[in-house]
Amino acid sequence: MTNARPDGQGCARKKGKILEVEWGASFHRAPLRRPSPHSSSHAASSHRQRRDTTAMANYPPPCSQPQGDGSIPPATVYRLTYLWKILNFPLCGTVSEDFIVSPTFAPAEDPEMQWCLKLKTNDFRQDTEGYVSIYAMLVANNGPPLCARSKFSLINCRQEEVNIFVDQHAHAYYVGSAWGYDKFVRLEDIFYEANSVLPGDELTVFCELIVISYNGLRSQYDINPTAPRDQLVQDLERLFENPSFSDVTLFVGNRGLKLHQAILGVRSPMFRSLFEDGWEEMAKKCVQIYNIDFEILFKLCRFIYTGKVDNIECRTSELLRAADRFDVFPLKKMCEESLLTTVGADNAADTLILAANCRANILKAYVIDFMRRNAEEVKKTDGWRALVESHPHLIHDVFCIHHN
């Protein structure tokens, strides 16, 4: 146990930067005062909507799946504690509706299991307006599927835990998925001086994760190609290349792709919406697609049919934009993972803009963490100067929790 405070980038149980905060030992619990009475109870968490912020919620929780003999597979349990000090909190979220993203953190036993926290202060949805939302997101994981239980709280200037939310249920986490609270704390409660949670405009968030990794379940979720699946992919690839039985043509300029509405619609919500809206073009079964290169559209549609993409390292940024535009999540994830390997000081600013525009949260979290760790090099680049001029709200995302 230690009473040391974290630096501006927060702390985690990582070798070389261990600042472990024991639950119930370093902090005392205290109630959060209210500036004015409200009809709902702030201490109770039952009315807080809890949600998974990605489509991965449809996957079954790994902890609910026994082995073939009915026994529970071998499990590894990790306990992560993380302190996140957000500097200049009143400025965060005032320009952008995007998330504030913490640096990544990981258990010392498995540094490839990367997590981050996401916080939103400017959500204009009617049911959450006036609240701060918070989520824990799995950024990277090369191991078996995970399920985790979370705890979130604020730390006041007396080192007391306030506004404590403890999840009573474990949830499945896959890379890119996030669980948390839409209504974590009211903004007015943070700014209420008597609560003492914003000394010097700094907000400190405490998170604890109990993570369970079920080693015996990896094979249930990995895609291990089998002969029937290979045959299915081959058949779909032939269908993509053969215009027979096609019922729609996508045009980019004068070049067209003859395709099938059913396959496009079931794999892409954007195409499904396009076909269901009954556009005048649909009567002719011809749709003109604007602001995209034909080669990129070809790669996108081929992936929709087959789940494969060749030379993803070529024109990855354009492919990411297309995957985001047409809501093809698996391709979007592959593009993000490809771009992660290319981030450097010279292209970090441009990559951050791309990630923000494409809602690529995994890539954005990684780039922000890279920019914080390499701030001096990044600030010398032309990309940084362009970022300051054209996307000033992203500067807040990068440095609102880091000393300039």
Task: Give the confidence band of 279 by pLDDT, cuts at 50, 70, 90.
Answer: low
Residue 10 within any structural domain of the chain: no
Task: Give the confidence band of 125 by pLDDT, cuts at 50, 70, 90.
Answer: low
User: Do 253 and 299 fall into the same domain?
Assistant: yes
Q: At what angle do helices 382-390 and 392-399 cross, to 10 degrees?
A: 110
CA dist., res. 42 & res. 131, Å (int)? 12
Distance of alpha carbon 371 from its chain centroid, rounded?
18
User: Is residue 4's pLDDT more than 50?
Assistant: no
Q: What is the mean pLDDT of residues 208-230?
A: 60
Residue 2 within any structural domain of the chain: no
User: Do 287 and 188 fall into the same domain?
Assistant: no
Contacts from 155-158 at CB under 8 Å and sequence distance 24+? 155/27, 155/83, 155/197, 155/204, 155/205, 155/206, 156/30, 156/195, 156/196, 156/197, 157/196, 157/197, 157/199, 158/28, 158/30, 158/196
Q: Residue 359 sits in which domain range?
A: 343-399
Residues of the chain with pLDDT > 90, as a percent, come to: 32
The residues facing 86 across adjacent strands are 203
User: Do 71 and 207 fall into the same domain?
Assistant: yes
Residue 20 within any structural domain of the chain: no
Q: What is the mean pLDDT of residues 260-271?
A: 90
pTM beyond 0.95: the answer is no
| Token representation of residue 173 | 């986490």
User: Do 228 and 300 fall into the same domain?
Assistant: yes
The residues facing 78 across adjacent strands are 211
CA dist., res. 76 & res. 98, Å (int)? 34
| 160-166/28-29 β-pairing | parallel
Task: Give the confidence band of 129 by pLDDT, cuts at 50, 70, 90.
Answer: confident
User: Do 295 and 380 fall into the same domain?
Assistant: no
pLDDT of residue 316: 93
pLDDT single digits (tens) 136-168: 999 988 877 788 899 999 999 999 999 999 887
- Phi, psi at 182, each rounded to 5°: -70, -30
Residue 9 within any structural domain of the chain: no
Give 129-155 as a DSSP string.
TTEEEEEEEEEE--SS-EEEEEEEEEE
* Closest to 404 (Cα-Cα) out of 241, 395, 345: 395
Residue 80 within any structural domain of the chain: yes
CA dist., res. 79 & res. 151, Å (int)? 11
pLDDT single digits (tens) 172-191: 888 888 888 888 999 899 99
pLDDT single digits (tens) 5-29: 223 333 333 322 222 333 333 445 5
Look at residues 220, 244, 274 and tell me which one is the last residue of a structural domain.
220
Residue 272 within any structural domain of the chain: yes
pLDDT single digits (tens) 32-65: 665 544 433 333 333 344 444 333 333 334 444 4
CA dist., res. 132 & res. 155, Å (int)? 15
At residue 213, the 3 state secondary structure works out as strand
